[in-house]
Each structure stands twice: as structure tokens, then as C-alpha cells.
Amino acid sequence: MSAHAPFTAFRIHNDDAGYRSGLEQVTLDQLAPGEVVVRARWSSVNYKDALAGTGQGKILRRFPLVGGIDVAGEVVASTDPAFREGDAVLATGCGLSETRDGGYSQYVRLESKWAIPLPAGLSLREAMVLGTAGFTAALALLRMKDNRQTPEHGPLAVTGATGGVGSLAVDIFSRAGFEVHAISGKAEAKDYLTTLGATEVLGREALATTRPMESARFGGGLDNVGGAMLTSLLAQTAPYGNVASAGLAASTQLDMTVMPFIIRGVSLLGVASAGTARDIRQQVWQHLGDDWKPRHLDTLCTREVGLDGLPEVFATMLAGGSFGRTVVRID
């Protein structure tokens, strides 16, 4: 492909004219450098994408940049011999739509160290139904299992269970052999969460305690909201259980005592998906294409849009209307 041939991308600006984003024509030589050029086929929408696309969060480190922290497609050119034309690849995080141009574009240029060969068990579209959200949920499970979490500890709680990370976590955790208790403020989502594999669907009041310690109710879990619910989950976790922290939908604050840690040996594990080392990244994606592959990807994907549908999706997500996963079709 010519470096000067125009194609369509969803680009974000912040200059004297203000913060703005939308479709425009760009060329390869306008994109951040990289060894691998990919014809993008699919991307996805994450909370971070909504913040970046609207300016409601300080995500981008430089401007202008193409948005989209996820992408999947086929290699059309590579200066790295590890990748050949036609290879199916994906990338999530790794500075996309933060320090370098992202996946909301017909063509994407990637650093080869962050391009992951598509696992045999996934299609390009399935990889983006998973995307950063699925990678985050699976990385949380890997971290918990590395810290000796087993189904015998008890059920894993998942907060923010109807969101992208939460929905995928319910399916992934149950597929991996764990009992899952989904926590959601959306009572109408009970059937959806049960279909994904939740044994119980609990309201937010299940994590409303303010006491430093409660009876052990959960073996551990994944928290996507932060604040008081994370505090309560830690207070209700069984001895030597693990709680992974992956989100801040409700609060960035954590007000608690050290009692769950020093009395029950509970572990609080951070999950930072964006900069995960390549070897771990490949391990997680191999699981996602095999023994941790969600059984209900069609159910999880609740919306499909083109690049022109992104602003509406961002608004819905930031208003708290997110439900399941939205994939982006890049025509």
C-alpha cells in the first residue's frame, strides 16, 4: 500500500479549535511508526475508548491520534520477518490510542513486538468481541490462579457484571471451572448473566457492608468499580482468596483497614492490561482461544457498529448504559 494513499480513520484532536473527534482521511505516513502494517477488519469499544473519544478522560498523551485501543486484521506489509503478508494478527492496549495511533482505522501500523498472532481457536471478529475487555478478565484469572486460587476457595464475585469486562469475566471464569456470583445494579439483567454462566445474580446491596470484616462469602473475585464495593468484597473474601482490581467505574478511592490482609491472608491483585509483557500476553490469548474461550460470544456481543457509529456508542457507555460488548466493523 502506498504511504500517500488516503483511507478512513476516526481521529482525535485537541488544539486551539478545541477537543474534537470524527472520521477523516489519513495516510500511512501520518500514522505512528511500526514494522507491521495491518488491514484492520474489526475493533471494539471499551470504557477507555469512550473517555478518549469524548475528552472526558485524559487518555491521549499526544494529538492528533487515531482512536481505538483494540484491532484485529491481516498483515499487508512487514519489515519484521516474524510476520508475513496475510497473517492474521491482533493487538490490544500497548499504547494504542494513547501514545500511538489506534485501531479505528482501515489501516493500522503496529510495532511488531505488540502484534499477537491470532490464536487458532478465534476468528478476527471473535478476537474483538473479547478485545481488551476479555484480555483483562482473563489476565485477572491468570493472576488469581498464579496466586493459587482454586474453585475450592468458593465462588468468584464479579462486580459491574453487565459491562464488557464483567460480562466476559462471568463467562470466562465459569468456563474455567469456577462458580460465579455476578453483582449488578441492573435487575433486568438476571437472565442475561445467568445465560453467561452466573450461578447467582446479586444486587449491589450484597457489597454494601461498611464493617472492616464480614463473614466469608466469596472465594475471591474481580472488581470493576472500585470504592466501597471493592472494600466490601475484600471484607467478605475467604482466607487466602484473591480479589483482582481492574476498574474504577464508581470510584478511584479505597477506604478500608488492613484486617482482611492480616487476619485472612486475602490478596488484592492489580490488573493493568495495557502494558502486559508479551510472553504473558501470548499466554492469555492462547487460553482465550482454547480452554478459557467464552461459550457465549454471540450473546456477549450486544451491538455492532461501523466507524460512523462510534460517537453514539461513547455517549451511551459514559451515561451508564453499557451492556455487553460492542464490536466495530471496519469496512
Same domain as 68, residue 174:
no
Highest mean pLDDT, choosing among 185-189, 258-262, 315-319: 258-262
Say how far apart CA 156 and CA 222 lie, in whole Å: 7
In a domain, 262, yes or no: yes
Give me the chain's average pLDDT, please: 95
Same domain as 199, residue 161:
yes
Same domain as 96, residue 167:
no
Assign 2 to helix, strand or coil.
Answer: coil
Same domain as 43, residue 149:
no
Say how far apart CA 100 and CA 310 lie, in whole Å: 19
In a domain, 280, yes or no: no
The CA angle 292-140-324, to the nearest 5 degrees, is 70
Residue with cell 471493592: 230
Mean pLDDT along residues 87-97:
96
Residue with cell 468481541: 129
In a domain, 286, yes or no: no
CA 35 to chain centroid, in Å, comes to 25
Same domain as 220, residue 173:
yes
Give me the pLDDT at residue 320, please: 81
Say how far apart CA 325 and CA 272 lie, in whole Å: 20
Last residue of a domain, one of 255, 270, 285: 270
Which grid coordinates belong to 24?
A: 477523516
Same domain as 220, residue 153:
yes
Range of lowest pLDDT (224-238, 284-298, 315-329): 315-329
Same domain as 305, residue 261:
no
The CATH number of the domain where 106 resides is what?
3.90.180.10
Same domain as 191, residue 94:
no
> What residues form DSSP beta bridges with 86?
none
In a domain, 143, yes or no: yes
In a domain, 289, yes or no: no
Domain limits for position 67:
7-118+300-329
Say how far apart CA 93 and CA 271 lie, in whole Å: 13
Phi, psi for 198 (deg, rounded to 5) = -70, 130
Task: Report residue 321's pLDDT band, with 50, 70 and 90 as the boundaries.
Answer: confident
Say how far apart CA 175 and CA 150 lie, in whole Å: 13
Say how far apart CA 181 and CA 161 lie, in whole Å: 9
Burial of 213 (0-12, 13-18, 19+ CB in 10 A): middle
Q: Above 90 in pLDDT, residue 1?
A: no
In a domain, 19, yes or no: yes
Contact 105, 66 (CB under 8 A): yes
Same domain as 22, residue 74:
yes
Same domain as 169, residue 88:
no
E-only strand ranges, 46-124? 65-66, 70-78, 88-92, 107-110, 116-117
> What residues form DSSP beta bridges with 117?
89
Give me the pLDDT at residue 187, please: 87
The bridge status of strand 267-270 relative to strand 237-245 is parallel
Contact 12, 69 (CB under 8 A): no
Say how far apart CA 294 and CA 236 lie, in whole Å: 27
Task: Report residue 324's pLDDT band, with 50, 70 and 90 as the boundaries.
Answer: confident
In a domain, 2, yes or no: no
User: Structural domain tally of the chain?
Assistant: 2
The CATH number of the domain where 142 resides is what?
3.40.50.720
Same domain as 264, residue 139:
yes
Same domain as 177, residue 263:
yes
> Taking the C-alpha atoms of 92, 37, 312 and 248 in order, what is their torsion angle to the nearest 10 degrees?
20
Task: Report residue 274's pLDDT band, with 50, 70 and 90 as the boundaries.
Answer: confident
Range of lowest pLDDT (1-15, 69-83, 103-117): 1-15
Q: What is the DSSP letter of 122?
A: -
In a domain, 236, yes or no: yes
